């Protein structure tokens, strides 16, 4: 019976993993005209537990070990130990391995068509081939499970956030991904930075943003997000469409959580929300200055408005930076001078953030 069960389990996993192709990979390392693909399955209780990377190269005498070392060099959250050509340790974020168990190594023509190989230090790298490792001798006859595309921990960092909601000594990021892409092919994914003291629940973190940002709203029911809107973006839970919850330390370390109550944020923790199957992807900072008082705005002016070619910022204060945001909160232009060319912008409504040494204000303009 066990052999029959394993056979059907293997068959099902192969059918699922056949859906993962080169086009699904997001994180590529190396340069060159040749390509190879790598899957690491940690076989632990985390969700996800299997990830995929892509590798570009030109050499003819490279090994599977070279592929792995190139990924490690590009990802600070990963480390390996390959003492004698055999993979001994591979750690990635919260996924860890020890020498008390073993890594099984695989290769083949597709993500679902891999078989055992001779080890990472003895398996040649071939253009177009898939390579994989799976942890644990208990899974010796089951190849790596269907992966998710790995993300880089360096694609977005807290230092890129310029505005923070709340006050306190601790900082966290909230990444909200609507599961769609804009006209330029970038993810409709947005980030808020929050400050607080002590620890904070996921719902409290979202409430903090909602109380201070007029264009952000959410509702929850049964410990789940039922509705969330950000400017013109909206995600309403219905049928198979729902908000997924994640917690991590950066984009590379998302762990799926079943409910809001499972997420408790401490300093440097990230909260992720994604409407659909994509894990929260590289975000754009959401604009946070809509609440600036009209008294402060009187110190500034933007002419002409509406405008088609240029806008001129007028202020008595020393200009530091001018940022232009689309109506969806994405930064589309930055300038350090008062006269700004907007000819390349599409017709519509934009928000212009004027930053000086003393203040920051937001103004609405119309591009005609």
* pLDDT tens readout for residues 264-285: 999 999 999 999 889 999 999 8
Beta carbons within 10 angstroms of residue 207's beta carbon: 14
**Structure-token match 């892509």, residue found:** 54
d(CA 214, CA 81): 50
Q: Name the residue among 199, 189, 347 with its Cα closest to residue 266.
A: 199
Distance CA 225, CA 205 (A): 13
Interstrand relation of 270-275 and 264-265 (parallel, antiparallel or unpaired): unpaired
Q: Specify whether the CB–CB gap between 81 and 118 falls below 8 A.
A: no
* Residue that has been written with the tokens 């890129």 in this structure: 160
**Cβ count near 331 (within 10 Å):** 16
Neighbouring-strand partners of residue 360: 355
Q: How far is CA 317 from CA 62, 109, 235, in A?
A: 59, 63, 41
Q: What is the pLDDT of residue 251?
A: 98
CATH 3.20.20.70 fits 22-149, yes or no: no
Residue 351 scores a pLDDT above 50? yes
Judge if 22-149 and 158-285 fold alike in CATH terms. Answer: yes
Summary mean pLDDT of the chain: 88
Distance CA 216, CA 249 (A): 23
Output the pLDDT for position 1.
Answer: 46
52, 58, 62, 68: CA torsion to nearest 10: -30
Q: How many CB atoms lie within 10 A of CB 60?
A: 9
Range with the poorest average pLDDT among 75-89, 227-241, 349-363: 349-363
Q: Tell me the per-residue pLDDT of 183-206, one tens digit each, with 9 for 90 and over.
A: 778 899 999 999 999 999 999 999
Q: Topology of domain 300-367, per CATH?
A: Immunoglobulin-like (2.60.40)
Q: Taking the domain 158-285, which CATH number applies?
A: 2.170.130.30
- Which residues, listed in sequence order, are joined to residue 114 by a DSSP beta bridge? 108
In the structure encoding, which two tokens stand for residue 354, read together? 């004027």
Specify whether the CB–CB gap between 267 and 249 falls below 8 A.
no
Contact criterion met (CB below 8 Å) for 279 and 307: no
Alpha carbons 175 and 192: distance in angstroms, whole number: 7
Sheet holding 339-341, edge to edge: 300-303, 310-315, 339-341
Lowest mean pLDDT among 56-70, 107-121, 314-328: 314-328
pLDDT at 289 over 70: no
If 0-12 CB within 10 Å is exposed, 13-18 middle and 19+ buried, where does residue 4 land?
exposed
Closest-CA residue to 197 (of 170, 173, 172): 170
The helix (run of H) or strand (run of E) holding residue 2 is: helix 2-17
For 86-105, the pLDDT digits (tens) are 999 999 999 999 989 999 99
Sorted by where each begins, the domain ranges of the chain are 22-149, 158-285, 300-367
């Amino acid at each position: 019976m066990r052999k029959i069960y394993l056979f059907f389990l293997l068959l099902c996993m192969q059918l699922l993993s056949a859906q993962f192709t080169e086009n699904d990979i997001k994180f590529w390392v190396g340069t060159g005209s040749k390509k190879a693909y790598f899957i690491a399955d940690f076989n632990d209780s985390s969700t996800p537990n299997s990830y995929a990377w892509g590798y570009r190269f030109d050499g003819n005498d490279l090994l599977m070990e070279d592929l792995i070392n190139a990924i490690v060099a590009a990802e600070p959250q990963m480390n390996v130990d390959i003492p004698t050509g055999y993979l001994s340790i591979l750690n990635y974020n919260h996924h860890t391995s020890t020498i008390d168990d073993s890594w099984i190594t695989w290769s083949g023509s597709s993500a679902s068509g891999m078989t055992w190989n001779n080890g990472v230090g003895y398996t040649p790298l071939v253009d177009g081939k898939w390579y994989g490792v799976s942890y644990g001798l208990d899974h010796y006859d089951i190849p790596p499970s269907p992966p998710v595309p790995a993300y880089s921990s360096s694609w977005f960092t807290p230092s890129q956030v310029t505005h923070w909601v709340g006050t306190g000594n601790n900082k966290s990021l909230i990444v909200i991904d609507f599961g769609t892409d804009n006209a330029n092919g970038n993810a409709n994914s947005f980030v808020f930075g929050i400050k607080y003291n002590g620890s904070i629940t996921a719902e409290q973190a979202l409430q903090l943003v909602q109380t201070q940002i007029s264009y952000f709203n959410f509702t929850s029911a049964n410990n789940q997000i039922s509705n969330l809107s950000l400017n013109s973006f909206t995600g309403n839970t219905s049928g198979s469409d729902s908000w997924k919850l994640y917690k991590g330390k950066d984009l590379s370390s998302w762990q799926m959580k079943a409910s809001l109550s499972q997420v408790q944020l401490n300093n440097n923790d990230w909260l992720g929300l994604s409407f659909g199957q994509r894990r929260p992807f590289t975000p754009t900072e959401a604009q946070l200055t809509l609440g600036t008082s009209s008294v402060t705005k009187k110190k500034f002016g933007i002419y002409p408005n509406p405008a088609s070619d240029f806008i001129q910022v007028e202020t008595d204060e020393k200009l530091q930076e001018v940022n232009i945001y689309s109506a969806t909160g994405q930064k589309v232009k930055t300038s350090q001078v008062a006269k700004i060319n907007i000819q390349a912008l599409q017709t519509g409504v934009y928000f212009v953030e004027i930053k000086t040494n003393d203040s920051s204000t937001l103004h609405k303009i119309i591009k005609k």
